[in-house]
A and B are shown apart, each in its own frame.
Chain A
């Protein structure tokens, strides 16, 4: 196990290094000049060229890459071209809302999705099963931002129960924090509940038709014991895989949800940085995201051993 983990960690570092080179080249070779954007719409070419020189954007690509890579090795993600603030500081300012939204979304999606999927599989063709099928169709087909607008209209504008937008940090009080995250969490959870619910249902259906389930029923096992002790545990590996993938895919959904609900998270930070060509921020966020992605995969792989004792590394 220790050797496996060491190997996976080393491969994660290699992945991050490759991502770094790829992102650096991609950004430098794609059109757009941060100096021209900084200088403003009515800047003269002389102003733009002065700013380019000052920011070191006229240096050769290898020099720029070396400068950036050496910084990364020293734990320095660089400084934003625009705000002249450390990238790490900008990311850390935005991390809390994104992490909170992602974790709440995953908790809510997993609890609801797995529960729906189990009930649907337990009573195939029943009301819950048909409701899940309809919900899944909606979840896969209705864009997240449309769901967001509807929820805002009903719960924030009409009923005035919840705030329209924004985020309150946890240290401003648990109540305001939670109230600001209810609608974004419901919105972002919508497709994931559908996805996890459908996968759970399919996995459970397969397991429920196994011989050992029939044996358990013949032995008089309670429905609770059959579902949770026998079926869910054996159906767990594909469900866990889907949850891991969903967590990684959450990043793209977070960007849209953060925009609709005006949550200043990492998603919006990187989208704004892309439109401004703020290279250090884009590079910094993507490096951290690739590391996180690799670590989630590793955590999912290790979690397999907990639910399936046959899996050993």
Chain B
């Protein structure tokens, strides 16, 4: 076989083209890349439910923040500020509120936002949100006055009303179209038509794979500069794509290769790899962090006895649990207040139980005083959530060390959220302990946070009951000043740590990873704002 010069040239050209193909593709992609941000919401999960009132899932709340708007929003100092509302007033007797919407508000389908939409949205949200339920219980009437104005009349004053309307407790009071908000809250709204700064791109939506948001060109931001979730929601990019990359190694590799711009959450062992890459940076976007805690089934042995619950309080070595959840001490710290770490109501009342390293001997003694006699204690272990799974194993070991018959019940989180509804004994498929976590900021809201209730079997899983605490909690909505609420918080905490509604495992500030070219991320608790960010 002979090779001609022409053959050689053809082969060379073909090989050259093939080798340069990746660079050509990258160059073509780069022209549009600066106006598009690809994000991996690995911490919040995959967006499957689109109605932020129908579910309390964080990812759906993030979706809501992108496409819907709220009447009020929290600024960076967590103070409520008007967002859709232009101005509002309250009567002298503090029973009648009047809200006027600002100009330029419009739905993504082109129709204007009206007061009727707001009234219907408050009514729907008021059926499911703890804060909303309080408003509805106090409300005498909510009605529209004209297209831009609506009133909310109360039977008795509710000093916290504006705070509740701006609260970050799920579900958030997003404003929907009247026809969507007229559905029962147990029926999902799937229209995805909001009035927020981003539009949901239905044609490109692939649930489980990727979700695309486009800039709402007709959105009129407030004139104030952006401040937390308040102020002007200025969008500097044309498109945001949430890529659902299930594998965290793949997400990290995609970030390094520049295929995505932001990864919401990465395993702690990859932090150093991010820090050593000159194109990447770690940033704690979710300000104030995340508090992990455990709930005990207060209806069944051994935790139906308060001594056993107090024993858990003494047993827990928060530093050890923090090393499991966040090995880098820079991203976590202990927390002793039931109102979280560094919230407006955090305090040191009745926290004498805290001891560095825990106090296993005291715990053992309290279990004994509580009449513990070797009954099986079942810890629900979520095997698909590594941090909680490892912490569950560590907890089981700590309990066994002091002679408690602790057993792990491994399953995925989907099974745990079902099993934790079982109030029965462990022999009938019940449980004794499960671990979970919530945004730190949510612990500062005893009205909106179900895990800060102690109303027995009507409350959150674990069902602690304490009438004295509930009587104090009932006063929360009516206390007028911050100083008075802080004083009330101290009283509530004094009782809370006596009957032990939860046991805290520490606060974690998980950083997100981003390419340095992506800037302007707003640092706020709980949720991710997609406005203000830009790619340079």
Contact among B186, B247, B450 with A44 in the assembled complex (CB-CB below 8 Å): B450
Note all chain B residues with C-beta closer than 8 A to A112. none
- Number of A-B residue pairs, CB cutoff 8 Å, is 156
Note all chain A residues with C-beta closer than 8 A to B22. 160-162, 179
How far is it, in angstroms, between the C-alpha of A260 and the C-alpha of B91 when the chains are bound? Answer: 60
CB distance B254 to A262 under 8 Å? Answer: yes
Interface residues of A in 151-177 (CB under 8 A from B): 152-153, 156-157, 160-166, 175-176
- A83-B48, A157-B256 given; A31·B415 CB < 8 A: yes
Contact among B19, B54, B246, B413 with A38 in the assembled complex (CB-CB below 8 Å): B54
Note all chain B residues with C-beta closer than 8 A to A50. 184-186
CB distance B187 to A93 under 8 Å? Answer: no
CB distance A39 to B247 under 8 Å? Answer: no
CB distance B54 to A45 under 8 Å? Answer: no
**Is B266 among interface residues, defined by CB-CB distance under 8 A?**
no
Interface residues of B in 233-258 (CB under 8 A from A): 243-247, 249-251, 253-254, 256-257
CB distance A156 to B253 under 8 Å? Answer: yes
Which candidate, B4-12, B201-209, B348-356, is the interface stretch facing chain A?
A: B201-209
CB distance B257 to A160 under 8 Å? Answer: yes
How far is it, in angstroms, between the C-alpha of A261 and the C-alpha of B257 when the chains are bound? Answer: 13
Which candidate, B55-63, B115-123, B328-336, is the interface stretch facing chain A?
A: B55-63
**Is B498 among interface residues, defined by CB-CB distance under 8 A?**
no
Note all chain A residues with C-beta closer than 8 A to B449. 42
How far is it, in angstroms, between the C-alpha of A85 and the C-alpha of B128 when the chains are bound? Answer: 24
Note all chain B residues with C-beta closer than 8 A to A276. 48, 414
Interface residues of B in 163-208 (CB under 8 A from A): 170, 184-188, 190, 206-208
Interface residues of A in 73-96 (CB under 8 A from B): 80, 82-85, 90, 93-94
How far is it, in angstroms, between the C-alpha of A184 and the C-alpha of B417 when the chains are bound? Answer: 35
Contact among B190, B254, B451 with A165 in the assembled complex (CB-CB below 8 Å): B254
With CB as the reference atom, state the residue of chain B lying closest to A50.
Answer: B186
CB distance B259 to A54 under 8 Å? Answer: no
CB distance B418 to A156 under 8 Å? Answer: no
CB distance B49 to A83 under 8 Å? Answer: yes
CB distance A259 to B206 under 8 Å? Answer: no
CB distance B60 to A40 under 8 Å? Answer: yes
Interface residues of A in 254-269 (CB under 8 A from B): 259-262, 264, 268-269
**Is B472 among interface residues, defined by CB-CB distance under 8 A?**
no
Contact among B206, B246, B247, B418 with A36 in the assembled complex (CB-CB below 8 Å): B418
Digitize B77-105: 1 where CB-to-A-CB distance is under 8 Å, 0 elsewhere: 00000000000000000000000000000
With CB as the reference atom, state the residue of chain A lying closest to B450.
Answer: A44
Note all chain A residues with C-beta closer than 8 A to B56. 39-43, 47
**Is B519 among interface residues, defined by CB-CB distance under 8 A?**
no
Which residue among A32, A33, A54 has the maximum number of chain B CB atoms within 10 Å of its CB?
A: A32
Q: Which residue numbers of B lie inside 8 Å of A, CB to CB?
A: 19, 21-22, 25, 46, 48-50, 54-58, 60, 128, 130, 170, 184-188, 190, 206-210, 243-247, 249-251, 253-254, 256-257, 259, 384, 411-415, 417-419, 421, 436, 438, 449-451, 459-461
